[in-house]
Structure 1
Amino acid sequence: MEMKHVYLMRHCQAKGQDASCRLTEKGSAQAIELAHFFKGIRIERIISSPYQRALESCRPIAQDKQMIVEEDIRLAERVLSNVDLPNWQQLLEESFQDLEKKLEGGESGAEAAARGLEVLEEAISGPCDHIAIMTHGNLLTLMLQQLNPTYGFLEWKRMTNPDVFHLMIDNGQCQIERIWDK
């Protein structure tokens, strides 16, 4: 099996958290900057969360590379809870330490990571060796945590909009490098 290169990306700055929220003006500029970043990087396939902010973040990359963006609902952001939680950051931190923790109307970290990793595993088992995946901060961090347990809440807090992690997968071994440093 060839070495696989996967670029796990977090979307650009958005106007909000709802699935229909679009990018801000700054976010739209970031999406163009992201496409510029990928100019010299080979991409054979782009898979994205169907959320508007994710699609708008990867569309310029797809246009530059004359590709279509495949939407996959499994890349949607994790729902921590469907009720308003004033202490949501504390609960989020706890959910990174206890992946089975599940809040009202929400999804556990383990459940979210499993669906995100399903997309990743299907992508790397396919014929493409250079794959871009656009998702959201919480889900992306949970996926990284499953690949390398040193990732967690602090890495989520340090993540930027956008952000890019390069996964190099060879013979079942995965190296992770954060390559976005803007």
Structure 2
Amino acid sequence: MKKIYIVRHCEAKGQSADATLTDKGYKQATDLCEFFCDIEIDHIITSPFVRAIESVQPLANHLNLQIVTDNNLKERVLSSDNFNDWLEKLEATFNNHELKFEGGESSAEAGNRIITVVEGIFNSNHQNTVIVTHGNLMSLLLRHFNESFGFKEWRSLSNPDVYLLENRDNKVTFKRLWRGPSCL
């Protein structure tokens, strides 16, 4: 059985690729490290965005594991335009996976990026992998394995958040593990 822990990054100062974690986000990264301290991890792969790397750096240091970055895990671009109603536009892409706005990716395109990463891990020698990514991509991945995971569930994600994907005999299931610092 292979396990993949899908992690949404900790609280950040913004949405740009170079946005760092907030003070609270750095504390959350420490909480994540503590959360994983009794879980066997043999591989860490993350979005190249600074907030994703910083979210898992304490864990990588603790486990003495190299962080591997993968552009397929970067934040989804909804559009190159700034929409005042971006939340409604995002919701529309959950209802129509092929809907694509100027300069952006459809849900199908963005979802395929993270699905490719997960399939690669399932076909690798790694048994217990942590993937750090962004909320929208995380939601699209979870929806791939269970169509009932949609816009409402995306809105309920926290920063950070952790879901466990388990692949048993090519049947993939997932469950939410993160309950915040009180789970430690």
The two structures share one fold, judged by TM-score above 0.5? yes
> Which residue is equivalent to 2:130?
132
> Which residue is equivalent to 1:117?
115
> Which residue is equivalent to 1:162?
160
Aligned pairs for 1:34-113 within 5 A: 34-113=32-111
Report the 3-state secondary structure (helix = DSSP H, G, I; strand = E; otherwise coil) of the residue aligned with 1:5. strand
Query: Are residues 1:172 and 2:170 paired?
Result: yes
Counterpart of 1:168, as a letter, is E
Q: Deviations over 1:152-177 (max 9, x none)?
A: 11111000000000011111111110
* Structure 1 residues without counterparts, runs of 5 or longer: none
Report the 3-state secondary structure (helix = DSSP H, G, I; strand = E; otherwise coil) of the residue aligned with 2:116. helix
* Structure 2 residues without counterparts, runs of 5 or longer: none
Counterpart of 1:102, as a letter, is K
> Which residue is equivalent to 1:28?
26
TM-score, structure 2 normalization: 0.97
Report the 3-state secondary structure (helix = DSSP H, G, I; strand = E; otherwise coil) of the residue aligned with 2:64. coil
Report the 3-state secondary structure (helix = DSSP H, G, I; strand = E; otherwise coil) of the residue aligned with 2:80. coil
Q: Deviations over 1:4-50 (max 9, x none)?
A: 01000000000000000000000000000000000000100000000
- Stretches of 4+ moved more than 2 A in 1? none
| Alpha-carbon shift at residue 105 of structure 1 (Å) | 0.5
Q: Deviations over 1:100-144 (max 9, x none)?
A: 000010000000000111011001100011011000000110111
Q: Give the one of 12, 15, 18 matched to 1:14.
A: 12
Separation (CA, whole Å) in 2 of partners of 1:82 and 1:21: 18
Identity of aligned residues (%): 42
| CA-based RMSD | 0.5
Number of positions where the alignment pairs a residue of Structure 1 with one of Structure 2: 180
Counterpart of 2:64, as a letter, is Q
